Structure 1
């Protein structure tokens, strides 16, 4: 420890106040090499260079269990609207293809794109992996297994260059959709057209599924996206990043939301107000209404419900929303789509997962361009000591 004058230096107390941590945490930062302490001339205690403290304050480190200051150029949630790189998601969902929007999130350029490429051998491999899981498994379970197998089979998965990652991501998404149980559509079809016969036997409306994949592609730092970014920060390959996102998505408070909304709407179709009354009496939240971020409406839900037109399920949603005095969110809108088009009951979770792979890839690309291993939680030991 060297001696310094206290000009442009901060005391331990001042550093703790600046970083909003306890003094004990400051010494933990020193032991980890995040800060360097110096001796003050003629006084007791340590000093820390103000420039180093400010540099640490701007990094993405974890305090009290919350990851702070993750900067991103991808998604803006502002005034109850959603934007991808400055473009309204309302316009993107109705005017652009899924590939166009994926390219926008991945590169920042909004230009017309070709369909994602897929190889027959990869589809067969993914399908064989999906067939291993029990018949009772959900579509998301099949996706999770297939991602792991496809990753293991890709010898170039450790190439983290943007060009390689984006190519692999597009291929992965289309391969997973093509490998799902059900008829396989021509490669020239949109992703929505390829996915439709996997979920429903009704006359296809692929524009609905294309819109869902766009609307749910990203939503800022949701828990699954943070998981994906942490994996990417460790320089995990794309398949591992997607697997990390799928793992977090499997939690009951995240990816399961569309299924809960679907089950609620299933009961509500016959008696909307009676079902609402029963739900309120149970003390459980009413699935599919309100949002932590949006205050008055969810733009994703408005687009999807608008595309359904005057279908009776929309009237059911409207009736409940008016009596509930709350707006429907995207989970309820996806559930309404599932009922309107007679989708299989586990379709909602799978749609969410497939769409969010686009966003996870975009966030991984940002992390690959940032310093590695920049997420390091500060653990505070609370167990027994000798």
Structure 2
């Protein structure tokens, strides 16, 4: 506990029933005044208008309880918008760019393989020529488990089952030391790829992971430009700060779940259409645009009150840097030209109504459509790529105090005692 926290804990608080001004509440919480109002909007604090004035007042007891909760969560703080925030050394997103351990992520992905980027995230040290391989026993048990699933099982289903199966084959999975978790990561990621049913010619267990994954996504031959784009996509998607799936991973790691279980938590979240499955929506839209043109397709999306898939990102006011990097590579692939033109037509058409830029989901969709992959391929690419980031965040969380990712509920139901419900 730091000195400031100790002094605050010893300070006499306001008497019960006393109300605090916004400034006083902000000082007690150690946040900016605008964050106090963000707490109100999220239901964490109740406010009352000052009689005859413009300001608000807050119950001192409630503010003190929230301050204690914030201190109890240790490394957790609050962002300027009031959302929970966690200190991390992994990814910084700033001014339409993002960085892995301080290195420009786009430049890193352009020069390094996915495996090398993963090692950088995990260790902060360069590992030139890193290649991940999986033992036959791990692959065999994962393949048997995935093979038992029905044909309509989705990518997240297969990867989640493969993860659980691989865990059962690892009797040392409960060792949470850094060395052991790194060993797990280097085996788990290639196991996930090997467990997926091949579509094209199986590349076996050697060579870059991107080439092995290619055979699980399409039956088309892997030309140099397309394979390079897939490799870069994996590296670019390796981490992206505290996305929803990453937060789930950190919660699991905070409870000291082993690395396989933490990854499984992340896989459970990415199936949502607002996260890992978003590129599938853009994939289907591009097929429709290639058939009918952008104007009617975009018009239908807007008329239905839906967001146009693949456009806009809450963290990037401008163009998503991941999309920009992938579009540049896709522009060098002749067979991607009509799909890339369709994507640009979508962005230009939608801009007449809402000025949103392309995001990485649209770029992934251009890759998957032009390379003859199914709509679910983008989700597979996303999940395999992000496993590296999930492991990096789990490693960070294992070094923190256990169970710190435990928010307190703000009860808003009827005040007790409530009579027992009686059947009529």
Q: Is TM (by shorter chain) over 0.5?
A: yes
Indicate the residue corresponding to 2:121 in structure 1: 105
Structure 1 position 69, deviation (Å)? 3.4
Does residue 300 of the first structure (1) align with residue 331 of the second (2)? no
Counterpart position of 1:48: none
Match of 2:375 among 330, 345, 351: 345
Q: Which residue in the other structure is 1:368 paired with?
A: 398
Contact 2:74 2:404 in 1 (8 A): no
Q: Does the C-alpha gap of structure 1 residues 16 and 194 become closer, same or farther in structure 2, counting only changes over 3 Å?
A: same
| Match in the other structure for 1:266 | 287
Contact 2:116 2:127 in 1 (8 A): yes
Separation of aligned partners in 2, 1:248 and 1:178: 22
2:235 is the alignment partner of 1:236? no
The correspondence for 1:220, drawn from 234, 241, 246, is 241
- 2:92 counterpart SS class: strand
Q: How many Å apart are 1:154 and its aligned residue?
A: 0.9
CA distance in 2, matches of 1:338, 1:163: 36
1:162 lines up with 2:188 in the alignment: no
The number of residue pairs the alignment matches comes to 360
Query: Quick one: which of 313, 316, 321 aligns to 1:291?
Result: 313
**2:389 paired residue number:** 359
Per-residue deviation, 1:198: 1.0
Uncovered stretches (5+) of structure 1, i.e. residues with no partner: 36-52
**2:341 and 2:85 mapped to 1: Cα distance?**
42
Does the 8 Å contact 1:74/1:105 carry over to 2?
A: yes
Distance 1:7 1:179 in 2: 53
CA contact (8 A) 1:58 1:69 kept: no
* d(CA) in 2 for partners of 1:247, 1:338: 23
Shift of 1:380: 2.1
Decide which of 18, 25, 28 is 1:18's aligned counterpart. Answer: 28
How far off is 1:111 after superposition? 3.0
State the partner residue of 2:273: 252
Note the C-alpha offset of 1:113.
4.0
The 2-side partners of 1:114 and 1:57 are apart by: 37
Q: Does 1:318 align with 2:328?
A: no
CA 1:62/1:89 → structure 2, altered by over 3 Å: closer, same or farther? closer
Structure 1 residue 276 and structure 2 residue 302: aligned? no
SS at match of 1:269: helix
Q: 1:66 to 1:374 in 2, by over 3 A?
A: farther
How far did residue 274 of structure 1 move?
2.0
Matched, 1:197 2:215: yes
Moved more, 232-241 or 202-211: 202-211
Residue matched to 2:139:
123
TM-score by length of 1: 0.86
Instruction: Find the aligned partners of 1:61 and 1:286 in 2 and give their Cα distance.
Output: 34
Contact 1:60 1:67 in 2 (8 A): no
Q: Secondary structure at 2:297's aligned position in 1? A: helix
Secondary structure at the residue paired with 1:76? strand
Query: Does the CA-based 8 Å contact 1:103-1:113 persist in structure 2?
Result: no
Query: CA–CA distance in 2 between the matches of 1:351 and 1:287?
Result: 18
